[in-house]
Chains A and B, each alone.
Chain A
């Protein structure tokens, strides 16, 4: 899966996991900030994203500070997942 496909999938999964009713995948920009601005997610949503990574991509975040970087945008999430998958090969 290339980055573009992964980002599309992530947008669908974020909407489903966070129950963002009324939000369409195309309205989430690849580089839009997920927290505060942009989607306006909060700390509970951050926990949901951690669960999403673990459940769908078998990736466990080792520390909370890592989350700030990883969950900055859909693009950074995709980079993190692809990097992790490359290491697994």
Chain B
């Protein structure tokens, strides 16, 4: 079992344990890169052995749906199982699918999550594009320099139709776009309008700025124009930048609501908005509230 599979399985088992759910009605996963280590092993072998003597295990485990499949195997779960691979909106696609399944009455309790890993080769290749900072910084979000920090993570949730004893937050809405020409301020404003929420009603805004001076300007504009620079926190200083990092933001928001975490001595957040825009191509919004 490669590292990413262990990460995914461990996160999924934690989520199921916390929700006291032995068997989900569906498993929906999002990943941009899939199981990179096994893909790397399979492709390297393919080159080294001239396309002969290929290891079947590396091939099987290199597929993007391996984590969702492994969780199902361990649970003996034969229910709906799907994996979405849509680059920077992979996790959003998984969440939307889970939301549809619940709304259409196909499932009541769904295991939803995302996985993405860094491996040596992927880090080397992505570094060539100048995406990562060349020097270490312990103040990632205020570095003022180009580049960000490489990230990875496995995050799983149990989405339920009804409020359960262990429910920690309510996902009011989610919205995702791809390469839209619309201004971020308009997208966020419309999202809030659709949910009958005013900016003043939001206790905390979690933004996806990643410390890269080239893209942080976008978030700074949103922060100043829409929220007046108040009640804002970042999250990529904890998990780094990766295509499915919004799942980490959602986890962080849910935990803040659950534990009543106070920000800057203000009241505990009851309503949290998440805005992430991976590579400024995949804007996504989540609205979470206490339940």
Binding site for B on A (CB under 8 A): 17-19, 21, 44-45, 47-48, 51, 54-55
The reply to whether the CB of B49 lies closer than 8 angstroms to some CB of chain A is: yes
- Sample of 20 A–B contacts (CB below 8 Å): A17-B55, A18-B57, A19-B1, A19-B57, A21-B1, A44-B56, A44-B57, A44-B60, A45-B57, A47-B56, A48-B55, A48-B56, A48-B57, A51-B53, A51-B54, A51-B55, A51-B56, A54-B53, A55-B49, A55-B53
Q: What residues make up the interface of B, taking CB atoms closer than 8 Å to A?
A: 1, 49, 53-57, 60
Shortest Cβ gap from B101 to chain A (Å): 31
Closest to A43 in B: B56
Q: Chain A residues near B49: list those with CB within 8 A.
A: 55
B52 shortest CB reach to chain A, Å: 8
Tell me whether chain B's interface is mostly helix, strand or loop, or mixed: loop
Chain B neighbourhood of A18, CB < 8 A: 57
A43 smallest CB distance to B (angstroms): 9
Distance between Cα atoms of A36 and B56 in the complex (Å): 19
Q: Which residues of A contact B57 (CB under 8 A)?
A: 18-19, 44-45, 48
Closest B residue, CB atoms, query A53:
B53
Give 9 closest A-B pairs by Cβ, nearest first.
Answer: A47-B56, A55-B53, A51-B53, A44-B56, A54-B53, A51-B55, A48-B57, A44-B57, A48-B55
Residues of chain B with a CB closer than 8 A to A48's CB: 55-57
Question: A17: nearest residue on chain B (CB-CB)?
Answer: B55
* Residue among B1, B54, B56, B60 having the largest count of chain A Cβ atoms under 10 Å: B56
In angstroms, Cα B49 to Cα A54, docked, is 11
The residues of A that contact B54 with a CB separation of less than 8 Å are 51
Task: For the complex formed, measure the closest distance between the CB of B34 and the CB atoms of chain A, giving whole angstroms.
Answer: 18
